[in-house]
Structure 1
Amino acid sequence: MSLENAGTSAWRGLNLSYHWLDDRGNPIVWDGLRQEVGAAPGEQVEQELLLRGPIPPGSYRLALDLVDEQRFWLAELGNFTPKLDVEVAPRDAMAARAFLPPRADLDPDWEERVYVAHTEGYAAVGGSIEWISGPLRRPPDGLEPYAPGGGRNPAFAEPLVCPSLLPPLEPNADVAGLPAWRPEGDEPWLYDARIKLRLRSDRRRG
Structure 2
Amino acid sequence: MNNTELEGVRDVWEHLGATDPYWAVLTEDEFHGGEARARFFDSGRAEVAGLLKVLDRDDWPEDTVAVDFGCGVGRISFALAEHFGTVVGVDVAASMLAEARANNPFPERVRFVHNDASTLPFEDDSVDLVVTVITLQHIPPSLTLRYLLEMIRVVKPGGRLLFQLPSHMPKPQPLPVTACRANLTPVNAPRVLAPGESAYVEVDVRNDGDRAWPTGQLLNLGNHWFSGGEPRQWDDGRMAVPGPLAPGRTARVGLRVNAPTEPGEHELVLDLVQESVAWWAELGNPVVRLPVSVIATSGAAPAPVADAAPEVEVEVEVEVVEEPPAGGKSMQMHGIHKDLVVGLFEQLGCRVLAAVPDDRAGSDWVSYLYAVEIGEYELRLR
TM-score (structure 1 length as normaliser): 0.42
TM-score (structure 2 length as normaliser): 0.23
Flag the structure with higher helix content.
2
Flag the structure with higher strand content.
1
Which of structures 1 and 2 has the larger relative contact order (alpha carbons within 8 angstroms, sep 6+)? 1
